[in-house]
Chain A
């Protein structure tokens, strides 16, 4: 069994869907980190069978909306003195900006310079978003 030391002060991103850990790792630019970071892939999970985990030995400002958008089942644990002081359960954010791009070639976002791609959640159960400008549907599960 792989052993990773517990961290003193920092963040544990837990219950990441297997395979998504690397995506979050890259999004948070942890490959450039000068502090201790662990990416654990395919760990055993009682809840989901398998999961990815990221442990970060540092204080870090994380965009929870973005994380929720990548995987709403993620749990973010804030660690102080080796103990969890806060557990944050994520959900799909109501709005996402500059994360996904509208694929509709007739949408204004396809031609305007500097426009921010914005999506609004319209169905939480099915994870369906729509482009704020042209109403093009984006399904979280693809």
Chain B
């Protein structure tokens, strides 16, 4: 199919290539960044320690060809091929070496003809390890999985798809990743040379500039014309993606280049990767910020994506305790532990209007925090008092693209520090210590008692509210959330997804669960694109499997139906994940909005449910899951049936498999 014979033949033999791969593979045995960051070692075998599995007969049969076994089998086969002289080196083999040099764990993909070479090189040449091919049912799911994987592992993953039809599918969750500042590597198959396009489909799957479609929401892209250029662009792209503001990057990879034979002596060089230090705020602005913070009487800190790593959470706690300043956590990442008395998120309605200084740390929509919007009346007004000092520390101004408008409304502030907030916090803490007198420290310490009481009162209010409708059917979201928590609280758990908004379940987890670690919560599908929740959860659960964490996903029904094939991926790759359906049989958010519009126009509400309810027929999610090889229970309408189902589901997950419990719930 290719004109590879016309291309340069290099002299690197298969044996030398393999040696390189082995060396690269050995280097990947070192602890990952996330393991180093969390201080925890990867669980060697999550299934062996529990011994509680109840796999079906089908699952047992599938054991004969698990991906792990296949991965182990491949090197032997490869060696045999090499001994017989059957194998040569190809461009795509070299590309895998580049990926190995970056310690890339996974490629989320489904097969496509424009990246056949890469597909074969991953599974055969590379032994399907570093990277491993994770089989997806949709490119949109692949992009969400890479998104979830990064947020749990703190390490980029790649997706691989056609540069045309595959990318069209993947684009929405690339946009979610963009809005969420998640680095991922999109590898797009393409056939650049028209003379190499064998057949009509190849023409349809080729483009002059495939990345054009997603350039507005990728940080950088390239279409390298040689293997040397590929190596440099892959390393460069990785570096760009992982430097704050972190974002996806895209590489269009020519199918002809993938097929190019490499001869002895002409193997391109893989450049060394050195991560960039994140940009920090200028010292003078940081000093001024510290001075104002120390002087303020009623300061408030608002955080959104501050904590890129667990260190971000530790630094935020240190800063907040130094000043006894309340923290409002928007929680696109888990920035502030919920059990800390200075986490006053539930009190934002009281604290923000009375603040004399507000410091925003990596807040995307700062304007939206200091103003209130009446959506029905299409009006807005400040929710802060006159004279309040507004300060932001973020990489927002380093992040701009003009077409898509996720940068939000312009927020006038008194000090704007351009720099990564987590990287800037050590300097800010140092300056605060410097600026604070002993007497001021004593004065500020007196606030602790007040905030402890506010924190306790807020928690108690939520605890009492959770009891309301405890025995209702459909099941209340409080009952569902707390029954889940009861079963997982003694595990090293992580709530890996709640879809597009935790408010869809009245924020019960953040009101009553103890989010005391950075990894306990991974935020939402930041672009609001539906079809994020389940695949992102699967990607995160894949990361957590190695880290020995118990992954739970509270799954909205509407979101589920966009990308439910992700369940099959979880079953196929033995990814332990507890999914609990928030099955309110509706696109509830839109239902409320349509109802509000109809009321405002005085046209009645009888038709407001058209197009917003997912009923008639009701969807049986347990059957859907079962059909994809996933243990399931439900639909559960009686709340008393929930606990026994969850107990069984947790056993299945602890044995290394996914499980789904379908709960018919109240709307919110």
Q: Bound pair: A and B?
A: no
Residues of chain A at the chain B interface (Cβ within 8 Å): none
